[in-house]
Chain A
Amino acid sequence: MSEAIIFTLLAAVVVIPALLVVTLKNVFHSALWLIVSLTGIGGLYVMLAADFLFAVQLLVYAGGIMVVLLFVILLSGKPEDWKVAQVNDKAVAAFLFSLFFVFIIATTLFGWQIKTTLQEPRLTTGPLGQLLMNQMVLPFEAISLVLLVSLVGALLFTVKKKS
């Protein structure tokens, strides 16, 4: 029972700020609400006993990516840019597409066979490391390579050419 209450609260912390992100006019405020939403997702990970994922969610999303996002907003925006219109002529198409997306997710979720076990939740950090370094080493390295390529690409775009 208490778990249901906590889940409802966390879901509210995820969903309401997420709605605010897309409805608020001020981009800076939207970004701040997105941080709240991402932290709420971290809370859901804690409920699922995925403690490592929770810490990484805070470290990478709330603490890293979102700070860089705020940084970009502060550097790029002119004050009048913070009050631009939020709907353009593709609103109807976007709405239909999101409805389709919701439909896909709903059918997937309701068709899901959920198994429950009485097993104690195990520690995640150690097994995760073993998995990444043994069975999953090829995808892991592939992702690392993709990230490295994107880093080098970003450098290529930003470094000024000496004439």
Chain B
Amino acid sequence: MSDGIPPQTTVAEYVGAFQAKEKRKQRSWRMAALQLVLLVIVGVVAVSLIGELDPRVRRGADLLRSLLVMGRAPAWVGVSLLLLIPALLLMLLIQVIPLFLVWWERKVAAHMQVRLGPMAVGGFHGWAQTIADAIKLFLKEIIEPDGVDKWVFRLAPMIVFVPSYLAFAPLPFGVGLVGYSFDIGLLYVLAVSGLSTVGVLMAGWGSANKFSILGGLRAAAQIVSFEIPRVLSVVPVVMWAGTLSLTGIWEAQAQPLGGWFPKWFIFYPVIGQISFLIYIITSIAETNRVPFDVPEAESELVAGFHTEYGGMKFAIFFMSEYAYVFAGSLLGAVLFLGGGSPLFPALGFIPSWAWFLGKTLALVFIFLWARWTFPRFRVDRVMDLCWKVFLPWTLINIFLTGVVLLWRGL
């Protein structure tokens, strides 16, 4: 018996053992809550001691520039270095994020199913499990089945991955922490992330496999359909903020209402909540995750469009999915949760990048939560949901926003 109750006992002994177990459980709950509170306090203190990263980044850039001037380097070296360094940092980030998110997803899944998940590798709660998995995937032989369309098959993972990296360029991570800020940031992210569908279709067709081609078709239909309500659901935000620049949208939500209430878009009555809900649900559908995972439904299509991919090629598909989860959450944090602005002005001592990280991870948790609580939609129901529920509601939402804006005199 795993719960410590020996077999063949009297009723009184059984009740006693049961009560002792309940007491243990309560104590462990209390300990866990205490640990969590301590963790949050330590985290907040550590993060506020680090402070804003913006001045340091600026100082580093200045140092680099003055070094280049001292070394008499031509101007283009400085310009390209200052563009290359953020790009390389983003590249590193996009490779570390999936490692963390996969580990987190496995822990969340395990705890939702009352088990522990990875515990062995690395010591503390199996934190090194995904690193070990990644090394395993690196070492695997790359197998190409007979009859594949060679270059289409080989290029497909790259075509899926590269847009997910490009989509990170205008996403802000805090005050002054942005890869490359430009005026149409929001539209750019939505446009570039749509390009991954091409790679999915290439994978489906190039594999020369019925499961793959069905998965590719389903993925294309789903992503193209859900992109429309997704783009339309952020239109009210753009109408309120009056700009497509992500930094601008965040700054539009920075000033608290009446001096204390956060002016985040999610708190705008009715319009904000509808937008946010549709945005989150369509983002989950865009990343092909449960409950919208019909393109890779295990029980129907083996693994959908990446059935024939193994080793690192499979890992690249996986990385791009998690990169999109993170990018979608970051975008949601900027659009609806006020980006790096604090919940209440009194909490302003926590730097903006920590707010960003916290809000993004909270939204990532919604993605994980949905995945491990909902069953899969049927293929035709997915399309019905998109065209008959989300599309009309986004249009009504835009109309309502327009009415309110006109009533307020723009």
Contact = CB atoms under 8 A, between A and B. Distances in A.
Interface of A: 28-29, 32, 35, 39, 51-52, 54-56, 58-59, 62-64, 66-68, 70-71, 74-75, 123, 125
B227 interface: yes
B201 A51 contact: no
B244 interface: yes
A32 B202 contact: yes
A127 to B, nearest CB: 12
A67 B198 contact: yes
A28 B184 contact: no
B301 interface: no
A28 B188 CA distance: 27
Given A67-B198, A71-B217, A125-B244, A28 B152 contact: yes
Contact count band on B: 20 to 34
Closest 6 CB pairs of A and B: A63-B194, A59-B191, A58-B191, A55-B187, A55-B191, A70-B201
Q: Which of A70, A71, A75, A125 has the most CB of B within 10 A?
A: A70
A51 B182 contact: yes
B180 to A, nearest CB: 12
A59 B191 CA distance: 4
Contact of B187 (A59, A67, A71, A123): A59
Given A64-B227, A66-B198, A125-B244, A74 B216 contact: yes
A51 B182 CA distance: 9
A57 to B, nearest CB: 8
Interface in B174-207: 182-184, 187-188, 190-192, 194-195, 197-198, 201-202, 204-205
Contacts of B197: 63, 67
Nearest to B185: A55
B112 interface: no
Interface in B141-166: 149, 152
Interface string B215-253: 011001101100100010000000000001000000000
B316 interface: no
24 contacts: A28-B205, A51-B183, A51-B184, A52-B187, A55-B188, A55-B191, A58-B191, A58-B195, A59-B190, A63-B191, A63-B198, A64-B194, A64-B224, A64-B227, A67-B197, A67-B220, A67-B224, A70-B201, A71-B217, A74-B205, A74-B213, A74-B216, A75-B217, A125-B184
Contacts of B192: 58
Interface string B53-71: 0000000000000000000
B203 to A, nearest CB: 12
B185 to A, nearest CB: 9
Contacts of B221: 71
Contact of A59 (B152, B183, B194): B194
Contacts of A70: 198, 201, 205, 220
Contact of B201 (A29, A59, A74, A123): A74
A55 B193 CA distance: 11
Contacts of B220: 67, 70-71
B198 A62 contact: yes
A159 to B, nearest CB: 13
A67 B182 contact: no
B213 A29 contact: no
Given A52-B187, A74-B205, A68 B198 contact: no
B195 A63 contact: yes
A65 to B, nearest CB: 10
Most chain A CB within a 10 A radius of its CB, from B182, B188, B201, B231: B201
Given A66-B198, A74-B201, A74-B213, A56 B152 contact: no
A63 B201 contact: no
B184 A52 contact: yes
A58 B191 CA distance: 6
Point out which of A35, A54, A66, A67 has the most chain B C-beta atoms below 10 A from its C-beta. Answer: A67
Contacts of A75: 217
B398 to A, nearest CB: 14
Given A28-B149, A67-B224, A70-B198, 8 more contacts: A28-B205, A29-B152, A35-B198, A63-B194, A63-B224, A63-B227, A74-B201, A75-B217
Q: Which of B152, B184, B220, B244 has the most CB of A within 10 A?
A: B184
Contacts of B188: 55, 58
A58 B223 CA distance: 15
Contacts of A54: 184
A28 to B, nearest CB: 6
Interface in B355-401: none
Given A52-B184, A52-B187, A55-B187, A67 B217 contact: no
